[in-house]
Chain A
Amino acid sequence: MTVLELKDLTKTFGKTVAAKDVSFKLEAGEVFGFIGPNGAGKSTTLRMIIGALTPDSGDILMDGQTVAGNRHYRQNIAYVPGDVNLWGNLTGEEVIRFFMKVRGYTDTAKKDHLIAQFRLDSKKKCRTYSKGNRQKVALICAFLSDARLLIFDEPTSGLDPLMERIFHEQLAAAKAEGRSILLSSHILSEVEKLADRIAIIREGRIIETGRLETLRHITRTEYVVKSGQNLAEMQKLPYVHDYEEADDGTHMRVDNDSVGDFLQAVARYQPHHLETLPPRLEDIFMRYYEDGRVSP
């Protein structure tokens, strides 16, 4: 079941095109990773979904219904902004209680549990909070809600590794409850670990969408080769990159569409060890950004 669908969303600020024909679907119970560098249009897209920005064109569908003119759709959403500014004179506890009250949640045991989990000193005024602590407040508010769709904008950018793990655990728990999660991030390892599917955005356009495994087909695979002969000649081949001789063998990255040629070429060197390392998200990402390639 499709929970959220974006259709050709476009948003311009003056002459800057912040988002151009952004489309993707988010299915029930899945974690969708939304990646791209700063300024690529991630936040603009998320802010169109929550209604802070009105798209110039395109449509946002929630459960198959357009959200334009429907003010109730937000009841199903919990959003954590990228940089949370809280009310300096309220304590963290007061902010969390406020959000519980206006959204009608009463589960104080869960609240206390989350505060303890995230190790938030909720008695302090928000003015004294660091970025990480402010993020914790917003995360707790989101995890407390019973919204079916959770939207996180770079949620771990201020958290320490320990808290990052707590966040990952809470995310997994939310997913297990059947909730859908839209996770924007530029931390690839995080998205790789958590996301079922991803979309890559660059300069306002989605350049790739899909499951991680499918995306790996368009990337490079890393090979480790050991051979009695000198492999140095191989680095001259057009599809071989990042050639490096190490103790455990010679590493090289090969364009996936040229694997056949590579295997023929390497066969001539009589390798006695050939190992394939799985492609990482980093590689997918870097390839797009290095080449500046935009898929047709």
Chain B
Amino acid sequence: MNAFIGLILKDLWLRILLWIAGISALTLIVPFAFEGLYSSEQEREVLRQTLDNPALIAMIGPVPEGAYTIAVMFSHEMLVFMAIIHGLFGIMIANAISRRMEDQGLIEYVNSAGITRGAIFMTQLLIGAGMNVLLGLVIFLGTYLSSDDSFTLAGCTLYAVGTSLFGLMFYTLTLVFAQLLGSSEWTFGMALTILLLLYLYRAITDVARPELSVISPYNWLTRLESFASNEVLWLLPFLLIAVFTGLAWALFSRRDLGDAYFSMERNKKPRTIGSYPRLMTGSMKVLVASWLVGMALIGASYGSIFGDLDAFINENAFLANSMAATGEDPIGQFISVLIMITSVIGVIPALMVSGRILREEKHGRLEWLESAGMRRTVMLPSHGLYAVIVGIAGVLIALLSMYGASMTVRGIDMTAGDYVIAAINYSAGIIAFVGLSVLLIGLRAKLHFIVWFYLLFTFFVNYLGLIIGLGDEWLLATPFHHLAALPVEEMAWTPWFIIVGLGILMMGAGVMLFRRRDVG
């Protein structure tokens, strides 16, 4: 078994290490930034006031009581959001060493070499526990060593243990799905769906019915109140990990290798697929459909808090007065921020669609297709165009669900048409991102990761920029910043045309380059 752990770690150590380094860096840079930005209590109090509104509660969770120290502020603004990434880390690695390995026939192979199922399962558990312990240690040490006094021993411990247990819980949950579902794609998709649905559930309930939020594990982290009252008891629900572990083992030990409890295979009449675009759309059906549903959910959950937003502003006379004095429309402000964040999220499925051609290339199918007469100058633009369509459709669906969920709220002066215009506005950003993606694919397959980094950068600058107040010089580097912030601003067509033009230009250049480069 030791040899087996060694083998798996040799295969995965770099990925695990990169995840741990990435999550730690993202987490630990924030206390450091806060110390510079919000050194006085007064500044922090002002920030707490700004964060105490339904839109931001939906995003990052309820505002804590008591003194708003740097550590409390850190935990408040980071915990729920980072939990998604901790969960994602667990899901990706768990899937890689369970169902993915089984899909590739590796589990069967090592099993035949005398490594028992018990040892395989134990290895999977040990790696999950080990990587989360390591991540927890780094985060504990990093926060504890930060210079501000508010990072107490108990608080740092609780923050690190909480996030690590959260990651481990999704790790074990993924192991359960790996037994139930017959492919790694389904396992990943299902685990990710649960991770995101619980986040959305928390977002809605945190705003509307805080007492119901407790069903979501994200809320357990909030209730830990690390760095304040340190409620250790809220670690107890994470005992669910033991239940998932037992369940996964019970399911794993009782089934045939390569088999699953739920079969997704249906016996259908064979289809006749007559062109590359149809082959492409067919192979991404599940991906696209689930993203469109996801976008609808995101839009609806944001839309559902608009009512609270309105009530909040009416109650807060000071805010209403100051906003009125400067001629700003507070609800409009919040809505425009939510619309922009939604649009940035809408870029993700678009990039998945355009980047999918690299999978065809990696598996050697691209050259096979080409040898059968399909042209690269058709295949790559097909992905680009479909990516743009999926991206825009996602944003449109999200914004229309936002409209649908907020229709009953009075005081919001927006028609369905306004949301459509907003979607058209931000579609420019999607075209620019897809353009960059196609350009990178045309240059070299290996460079495509850059567009994901750029999206991550854009997301963080726009999201964190909102919370911790980053300067404009950061925002200038993202396409979304240059587009009009609908609905508070008027639609501006000049930047729209420039950004769309740049996107199309990059796409064209990418296709030209792709025609000439080596594939495979």
A→B interface (CB under 8 Å): 47, 50-54, 71, 74-75, 77-79, 81, 83-91, 93-94, 97-99, 101-103, 122-123, 125, 127, 138, 141, 145, 151
Contact = CB atoms under 8 A, between A and B. Distances in A.
A90 B183 CA distance: 14
Contacts of A78: 371-372
A85 B371 CA distance: 15
A81 B372 contact: no
Q: Do most interface residues of chain B lie in helix, strand or loop, or is the interface mixed?
A: loop
Given A94-B271, A123-B267, A52 B276 contact: no
Contacts of B273: 90, 94, 97-98, 101
Top-6 shortest CB links A-B = A52-B367, A85-B363, A79-B371, A101-B274, A93-B270, A50-B371
Contact of A101 (B272, B516, B517, B520): B272
B183 A127 contact: yes
B283 interface: yes
A182 to B, nearest CB: 12
Contacts of A88: 183
Contact of B364 (A85, A97, A151): A85
Contacts of B267: 123
A146 to B, nearest CB: 12
B274 A50 contact: no
B472 interface: no
Q: Do most interface residues of chain A lie in helix, strand or loop, or is the interface mixed?
A: mixed
B372 A52 contact: no
Given A47-B520, A97-B270, A52 B373 contact: no
A102 B276 contact: yes
B518 interface: yes
A92 B375 CA distance: 23
Nearest to A75: B373
Interface residues of B, number: 31
A102 B275 contact: yes
B368 A79 contact: yes
B364 to A, nearest CB: 5
Contact of A102 (B271, B282, B372, B519): B372
Contacts of A85: 363-365
B105 to A, nearest CB: 10
B265 interface: yes
Nearest to B270: A93
11 contacts: A52-B519, A54-B518, A71-B375, A74-B371, A78-B371, A81-B364, A85-B363, A85-B364, A87-B365, A127-B103, A141-B372
Interface string B360-395: 000111111011111100000000000000000000
A51 B370 contact: yes
Given A52-B518, A99-B372, A125-B265, 19 more contacts: A47-B520, A50-B367, A50-B370, A51-B371, A52-B519, A53-B519, A74-B371, A77-B371, A85-B365, A88-B183, A89-B282, A90-B282, A93-B270, A94-B273, A98-B273, A127-B183, A138-B368, A141-B372, A145-B372
A77 B283 CA distance: 26
A91 B373 contact: no
Contacts of A87: 279, 283, 365
Contact of A81 (B270, B274, B367): B367
Q: Which of B267, B271, B518 has the most CB of A within 10 A?
A: B518
B270 A91 contact: yes
A102 B516 contact: no
Nearest to B286: A89
A54 B514 CA distance: 12
Interface in B252-280: 265, 267, 270-276, 279
Contacts of B518: 52-54
Interface of B: 103, 183, 265, 267, 270-276, 279, 282-283, 363-368, 370-375, 516-520
A96 B366 CA distance: 16
Q: Which of B265, B270, B373, B375 has the most CB of A within 10 A?
A: B373
A181 B273 CA distance: 28
Nearest to A85: B363
A98 B520 contact: no
Contacts of A98: 272-274, 279
Nearest to B278: A98
Nearest to B265: A125
B374 A102 contact: yes
Nearest to A130: B105
B283 A89 contact: yes
A81 B267 CA distance: 29
Nearest to B267: A123
B373 A74 contact: yes
B510 to A, nearest CB: 17
A193 to B, nearest CB: 26
A56 to B, nearest CB: 10
A127 B104 CA distance: 10
Nearest to A48: B518
A123 B270 contact: yes
Contacts of B272: 94, 97-98, 101
A84 B276 contact: no
Contacts of B183: 88, 127
Given A102-B275, A102-B276, A84 B373 contact: no
A94 B283 contact: no
Contacts of A91: 270
Nearest to B271: A94
Contacts of A90: 273, 282-283
A149 to B, nearest CB: 11
A103 B373 contact: yes
B374 A47 contact: no
A138 B272 CA distance: 17
A90 B374 CA distance: 19
Contacts of B516: 54
A74 B183 CA distance: 36
Contacts of A75: 373
Given A94-B271, A127-B183, A52 B370 contact: yes
Contacts of A101: 272-275
Contacts of B368: 79, 81, 84, 138
A77 B373 CA distance: 9
A127 B275 CA distance: 21
Contacts of B520: 47, 52-53
Nearest to B272: A97
A86 B283 CA distance: 11
A90 B270 CA distance: 9
Contacts of B103: 127
A89 B185 CA distance: 11
B270 to A, nearest CB: 4
A66 to B, nearest CB: 16
Contact of B370 (A74, A94, A127): A74
Nearest to B363: A85
Contact of B270 (A50, A52, A94): A94
A88 B363 CA distance: 11
Contacts of A52: 366-367, 370-371, 518-520
